[in-house]
Structure 1
Amino acid sequence: MLSRKIGEVVEIKKQNGQLDDIRVEINGEIFRAYNYPKMTGEVKVGDKVLLNTTAVELSLGTGGYHYVISNLDNMEADLEGQGHIMKLRYTPMQVRVDSVEDHESKYHDVFEEFETLNGMPVVVGTLHSMLTPFAATYKRLNPNKKLVYIMTDGAALPIYFSMNAATLKDKGLIDSTITFGNAFGGDYECINIYTALITAKEIVKADAVFISMGPGIAGTGTKYGFTGIEQGPILDAISKLGGRPIAIPRISFADMRDRHNGISHHSITIFGEIVNVEVEIPITIYSEEKDSVIKNQIKENNLDKKHKIEYIENNRTKDDIDSYGLKVKSMGRNYEQDSEFFDSASSAAIYITENK
């Protein structure tokens, strides 16, 4: 289940205090590796490190790098940390966090006094790559509004691995981050989606919230076997707490797999079978031919009978992304190669701006 090797750090490409992009030598070959200094301590050139090499040996695209398990030359690293709630529980890598719900937290009473999200708009995506186009359009339209990103534990667990989240925070396009479940590293740590939503509303005072997993998604080509199915229960939770559930459909005409053509089977399964409440689904208006495919999918699966479908004119996505000097990529494709996918996320930002 776990492949390990010992390597030597031969180069440090980038360090930001949260994620080290390094190069390691193993048996005369050079490999890319990542080190999380808050978990495994600092590394320097010449250090011997114990590496998890599983993903590379399996030739995986998602998570396909070596990861430092331990710095064998820095075994006494005194890592910072506080709190009593554990994440990655009952594993050798379990970490403690200062969860906002903890009985010693200054925010503890907030959760006992909470009543409602009071219609706060909460947009839920399925892929991490939806975050950047959504944030770019939302902040360009609402520069003075507070946007919070909640990262689930459906993919990457440390938020440190997300270059998108780090870049968007640096540019002021995300105001705060929240991680829940076994995801960790956000500005605020929560135990579940309900307390994460309450944190966004009552503690961070968000005007809008975007929720998605971190980088990476697990899929099996089966109807229910994908981590993005979490979109359904999350939308239900938003409604349960009195929020406004808005779903980004996964749309593409560049994906060669039939099941992801037009509205992905992921979205059709979630909207048709998994989510239990009515949600708002913004649909970008594309060319007549592409619109016909999408509308037929909506009709054939009775999505318009269960949810509020709204069609959005959107010709600004690329300009919004470029205006902040951002780059987008999903499944190896950039905006020019898969514009409909990124437009779908951007259109959700237009929708909540125009329909307050």
Structure 2
Amino acid sequence: MISKRIGIVDSIKDKSEKLEDIRVNINGEIQKAYNYPKMTGSVNVGDEVVLNTTAVELSLGTGGYHFVITNLNNIESSFTEGGHIMKLRYTPLQVKVDSVEEQESTYHDKISSFKSLNDMPVVVGTLHSMLTPFVASYKRNNKDKKIVYIMTDGAALPIYLSKNVETLKSKGLIDYTITIGNAFGGDYECINIYTALITAKEVLNADCVFVSMGPGIAGTGTKYGFTGIEQGPILDAVKKLGGNPIAIPRISFADKRERHNGISHHSITIFKEIVNVDITIPISNYESDKLNKIRAQIEENDLNRHNIVYIDNKNTKEDLDYFGLKVRTMGRNYEQDKEFFEAASSAAYYLMEVCDGDRRKDY
């Protein structure tokens, strides 16, 4: 189940207290690896490390990186102080976190006394690459409003792996992060999506919330076998708690796979069969032939039962450039797959047009 190798740290390309990008010598071959210092201790050149090499050997989407399991020259590490909730439970790498919900938490009473999200807008995506264009468009026009990002455990579990989050936080574009389920490393830790949404409102006073998995996604080529299907239950949870559920559709005209052309079959499955409540789906006003295809897909799959809102948005690239942000999805940049990024950006413009009416900036 796990492929393990021993390597010697050859060089350290980049390091922080959360993530170390290193090169390791495995039997004379220099290969890439990531180390999470909070979990496995910091490394130095010459250290002998045990590596999980499974994903690279299977040619999976980790960018060719191995992961350090332990540093044989620095066994000890300290993840957090306090807390009694375990993530990665009953595995050799289980970690202890201080979750918002637990009895000793400062915020326990706020979670216990929660009543409603009071129509707080919650935007739910399926791919991590939707985060940056949404945040860029929203924050450019609402610099003083508070965005909370909730990262699920549908893909990467350590939030430290996300360069997007690191960049957006360093630029002040994400105010707080929450990690849920077995995902960990956020500013706040929660057990599930319900308590994370409550935390965003009651503890962090969010103006809007963005929810998606971290980097990566698992798919099998089957109708229901993909981790992005979590979008449906998350939207249901938002509605159940009295929030305003808004879904970003996965849209592309660059993907060579027909099932992902226009509105992806993944999004259609979620909106048609999985989500149980009425939701808002913002759609960019693309050029006519592309928009006609999307309208046909909406009609064919009876998606008009939801609130489909068409948004005029030509500002996505300008918003990204304003903050000096670069985006990629499935190896494609903005110019190669602009409709994908516009879909996420248009959700931000929907919030400004509809949800934030009296406070929005004129644009």
Shorter-chain TM-score range = over 0.9
Tell me what 1:153 maps to. Answer: 153
Taking the aligned partners of 1:21 and 1:122, their CA distance within structure 2 comes to 33
Matched, 1:132 2:132: yes
Structure 1 residue 76 displacement after superposition? 3.3
Tell me what 1:307 maps to. Answer: 306
Where structure 1 has 5 or more consecutive residues not aligned to the other structure, the ranges are none
Tell me what 2:37 maps to. Answer: 37
Tell me what 1:197 maps to. Answer: 197
Taking the aligned partners of 1:347 and 1:354, their CA distance within structure 2 comes to 10
Tell me what 2:227 maps to. Answer: 227
Q: Which amino acid aligns with 1:124?
A: V
Deviations 1:184-204 (A, max 9, x none): 000000000000000000000
Q: What count of residue pairs does the alignment treat as equivalent?
A: 355
What is the TM-score normalised by the length of structure 2? 0.97
8 Å contact kept, 2:80–2:97: no
Structure 1 residue 64 displacement after superposition? 3.9
Tell me what 1:296 maps to. Answer: 296
Matched, 1:69 2:69: yes
1:47-58 superposed matches below 5 A:
47-58=47-58
Q: Secondary structure at the match of 1:355?
A: helix
Where structure 2 has 5 or more consecutive residues not aligned to the other structure, the ranges are 356-363
Tell me what 1:323 maps to. Answer: 322
Q: Which amino acid aligns with 1:195?
A: T
8 Å contact kept, 1:34–1:68: yes
Tell me what 1:274 maps to. Answer: 274
Tell me what 2:12 maps to. Answer: 12
Q: Which amino acid aligns with 1:35?
A: N
Structure 1 residue 115 displacement after superposition? 0.1
Deviations 1:144-178 (A, max 9, x none): 10000000000000000000001000001100000
- The 1:54–1:164 alpha-carbon spacing in structure 2 relative to 1, beyond 3 Å, is same
8 Å contact kept, 2:9–2:22: yes
- The 1:77–1:184 alpha-carbon spacing in structure 2 relative to 1, beyond 3 Å, is closer
Deviations 1:31-85 (A, max 9, x none): 1100000000010000000000001111112464100000001123455432000
Q: Which amino acid aligns with 2:312?
A: E
Taking the aligned partners of 2:288 and 2:111, their CA distance within structure 1 comes to 48
Q: Which amino acid aligns with 1:28?
A: G
Structure 1 residue 344 displacement after superposition? 0.2
Q: Which amino acid aligns with 1:66?
A: H
Taking the aligned partners of 1:237 and 1:135, their CA distance within structure 2 comes to 22
Taking the aligned partners of 1:219 and 1:81, their CA distance within structure 2 comes to 36
Deviations 1:259-315 (A, max 9, x none): 0000000000000000000000000011111011100000000001x2000001110
- The 1:63–1:230 alpha-carbon spacing in structure 2 relative to 1, beyond 3 Å, is farther
Taking the aligned partners of 1:62 and 1:246, their CA distance within structure 2 comes to 30
Taking the aligned partners of 2:188 and 2:92, their CA distance within structure 1 comes to 23
Tell me what 1:92 maps to. Answer: 92
Taking the aligned partners of 1:170 and 1:332, their CA distance within structure 2 comes to 24
Q: Secondary structure at the match of 1:223?
A: coil
Taking the aligned partners of 1:110 and 1:63, their CA distance within structure 2 comes to 41
Deviations 1:104-150 (A, max 9, x none): 00111111110000000000000000000000000001111000000
Taking the aligned partners of 1:119 and 1:210, their CA distance within structure 2 comes to 14
Taking the aligned partners of 2:120 and 2:164, their CA distance within structure 1 comes to 24
8 Å contact kept, 1:179–1:186: yes
Q: Secondary structure at the match of 1:228?
A: helix
Q: Secondary structure at the match of 1:348?
A: helix
Tell me what 2:361 maps to. Answer: none
Deviations 1:327-348 (A, max 9, x none): 1000000000000000000000
Matched, 1:349 2:337: no
Tell me what 2:359 maps to. Answer: none
Matched, 1:207 2:198: no
What is the TM-score normalised by the length of structure 1? 0.99
- The 1:5–1:294 alpha-carbon spacing in structure 2 relative to 1, beyond 3 Å, is same
Taking the aligned partners of 2:112 and 2:73, their CA distance within structure 1 comes to 46
Structure 1 residue 324 displacement after superposition? 0.5
Q: Secondary structure at the match of 1:137?
A: helix
Taking the aligned partners of 1:164 and 1:224, their CA distance within structure 2 comes to 27
Taking the aligned partners of 1:27 and 1:82, their CA distance within structure 2 comes to 40
Q: Which amino acid aligns with 2:157?
A: L
8 Å contact kept, 2:137–2:320: yes
8 Å contact kept, 2:79–2:96: no
Tell me what 1:184 maps to. Answer: 184
1:260-271 superposed matches below 5 A:
260-271=260-271
